Structure 1
Amino acid sequence: MKSSLTFEVVQEGQIEQCRDLCNELMAFQKSQAIIAPEVFDRMNFDTRMKRSYDSALRSQVIVVKDDGVPVGYIFSTVETVKQGEDAIPAWAPVQEGQEVQGFYPNGDELPPVMGCVSNLYVREAYKGMGLGSKLFGMAMEWLESFEDVDLIMIYISNGNEAALDFYLSRGFTFSHEVFGGFIKAVYKRLK
């Protein structure tokens, strides 16, 4: 790992430094998508990361920087689960009247709160250096530190098989397809 790289837990909501990285992630997800890639045109820092950050019960953002310039990040949340509600967001590629499964797994009793790894992104020039693994480990340590979190979910955009394999290799289990396969959900129970 380069000596100029630093890892920083973002303090007091200073997430604006992730704007470009988040928008790059949305463009990357669009480039990989097999199902409804045009949906990613409506996804950006403001509609995805900022909105989720502001509405979560608890949020953590860790940024990796090279000489002070952000080159990767991970964004995790602890969220309140609304029992019996599996809302479908406006951006979801669901046709009116189409029955699809949403974010939560069917048949499982959901806990009142759950952890979620929402975004993990490292710029192409920095891939293969173990940065994603380090960021992921730091985020998992944070999520596992909460006594009220016993379920962690991760939602992976369609076409991003490398991300799916990454999470499966780290102890997560496939749960279900969200919105007819637009997203794949994986989970890990902690207790």
Structure 2
Amino acid sequence: MLTYEILPIEEIECCREMCNELMAFQKSKAYITPELFDDMKFDTRLITSINKAVDNHTVIVKDKDQIAGYVYSNISPKETYSNDFATFFDLSTVRNDLVGCLSQFYIKEQYRQYGIGSKLFDMSMDWIRQFDDVEDYFIFVSNGNTNALEFYKRKGFKVSHDILDGFITVLRNR
């Protein structure tokens, strides 16, 4: 039996292995500069994102005591997305100071195709929608991850543009 739990930020360490699996999965799918994933791990991606956000939300799905998947979303100042790595979107296209981001999403392969992704996605979007001062929601999909790209498009997100010569596709809610 699967259970869904909102994870207190103090317990984020339990997502270390899952986050590192996500980075390895993304690298395995990438056909544009996959080596960029070499330095992307729990400490450099998830912890860094948590520390830059004004609010964080993580939901894990468990099969008994094993984590089968997770989604991490945040509310962050829009300036967070213009840094040394990349400028993720034109800041002038965002009216408010804060944006919502479904930042990390991973389900172990044997648990895919059972509706878990839709449930986690809905929980993430429900959380982001609580913030009245957040109008713009973003999702960043690594190259080669066609299944994720199509999933988000089915959920109503639209491709906005690519960055880093196609390394990442930026999706937006409007």
Question: Shared fold (TM-score greater than 0.5)?
Answer: yes
Q: Does structure 2 retain, via aligned residues, the 8 Å contact 1:175–1:187?
A: yes
**Paired residue secondary structure (1:139):** helix
Give the aligned residue type for 2:77. Answer: T
> Within the alignment, does 1:7 sit opposite 2:4 as a pair?
yes
1: distance between equivalents of 2:55 and 2:94? 22
For 1:150, the equivalent position in structure 2 comes to: 135
The 8 Å contact of residues 18 and 106 in structure 2, kept in 1 or not, is answered as yes
CA distance, structure 2, for counterparts of residue 87 and residue 69 of structure 1: 35
Q: 1:111 Cα shift?
A: 2.2
Counterpart residue number, 1:120? 105
Match of 1:161 in 2: 146
User: Are the equivalent residues in 2 in contact too, given 1:105–1:175 (CA < 8 A)?
Assistant: no
Shift of residue 134 of structure 1? Answer: 0.4
Q: Which structure 2 residues correspond to residues 125-136 of structure 1 after superposition, within 5 A?
A: 125-136=110-121
TM-score normalised to structure 2 length: 0.94
The equivalent of 1:108 in structure 2 is 93
Q: How many residues align?
A: 174
For the residues of structure 1 that align with 2:141 and 2:111, how far apart are their CA atoms? Answer: 21
Q: Matched residues in 1 for 2:105 and 2:127: separation?
A: 15
Letter aligned with residue 20 of structure 2: N
Name the residue aligned to 2:13: 16
User: Does 1:182 find its partner at 2:170?
Assistant: no
Deviation at 1:107? 5.8
Q: Which runs of 5+ in 1 are unaligned?
A: 93-101
The structural deviation recorded for 1:82 is 2.4
Instruction: Output the CA distance in 2 between the equivalents of 1:112 and 1:179.
Output: 24
- Kindly provide the CA deviation profile for residues 99-144 of structure 1, in whole angstroms up to 9, marking residues without a partner as x: xxx2013762442100000011000111111111100000000001
Letter matched to residue 84 of structure 2: I
Deviation at 1:38, TM superposition (A): 1.1
Partner of 2:84: 88
- 2:42 is matched with 45
- Cα 1:109–1:78 shift into 2, 3 Å: closer
TM-score (norm 1): 0.86
Structure 2 distance, partners of 1:74, 1:107, is 28
- What percent of counterpart residues are identical? 42
The question of whether the paired residues in 1 share the 8 Å contact of 2:9 and 2:58 is answered with: no
Q: 1:22 to 1:12 in 2, by over 3 A?
A: closer
Q: Is the 8 A contact 1:105 1:176 kept in 2?
A: no
Amino acid paired to 2:119: K
RMSD of the TM alignment (CA)? 1.6
Q: How far did 1:81 drift?
A: 1.5
Measure, in 2, the Cα distance between the counterparts of 1:110 and 1:186. Answer: 17
The DSSP-based 3-state class of the residue aligned with 1:146 is coil
The structure in which a higher percent of residues are helix is 2
**Is 1:58 aligned to 2:55, yes or no?**
yes
- 1:71 deviates by 1.0
